[in-house]
């Protein structure tokens, strides 16, 4: 009986890791998350050139093409909010983080473009 319980727990853990998924949230929901939780790790996966033109206050830039090499810079003990220009690059990064054991990961759909269109602050 004890072995069965352990086996079931192992299968459940493996299943939850295999199907871990980042949560998509809108710029409005992202703003609310950032306002509520001051300890969110805000991850910008755009290019340095894009980031130099406009970025969200407090964001850490790790370009998508450097991400696998620099993943250790992303803290595992914080909520992670990933963004790019419109959400197409941030989605796979957010999914990768979720599948790599990061627990609380969000992808901002619409990216910084959606953020700006909602009238929220950006840094130029």
Identify whether the C-beta of residue 107 lies closer than 8 Å to the C-beta of residue 99. Answer: no
Helices (H), the chain: 2-18, 27-36, 48-53, 67-70, 90-99, 111-117
> From the CA atom positions of the chain, what is the Rg in Å?
16
84 is catalytic: yes
Please give the Cα distance from 29 to 37 (Å, whole number). 12
Find the catalytic residue in 84, 93, 105, 108: 84
Burial grade of 83 (CB within 10 A; 0-12, 13-18, 19 or more)? buried
> So which residues are the catalytic ones?
84
């Amino acid at each position: 009986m004890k072995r069965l319980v352990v086996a079931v727990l192992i299968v459940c853990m493996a299943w939850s890791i295999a199907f871990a998924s980042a949560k998509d949230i809108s710029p409005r929901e992202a703003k609310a998350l950032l306002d509520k939780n001051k300890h969110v790790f805000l991850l910008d996966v755009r290019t340095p050139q894009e980031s130099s033109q406009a970025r969200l206050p407090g964001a850490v830039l790790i370009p998508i093409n450097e991400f696998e090499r620099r993943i250790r810079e992303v803290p595992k003990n914080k909520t992670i909010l990933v963004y790019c220009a419109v959400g197409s690059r941030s989605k796979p990064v957010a999914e990768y983080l979720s599948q790599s054991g990061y627990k609380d990961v969000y992808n901002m759909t619409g990216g910084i473009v959606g953020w700006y269109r909602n009238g929220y602050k950006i840094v130029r």
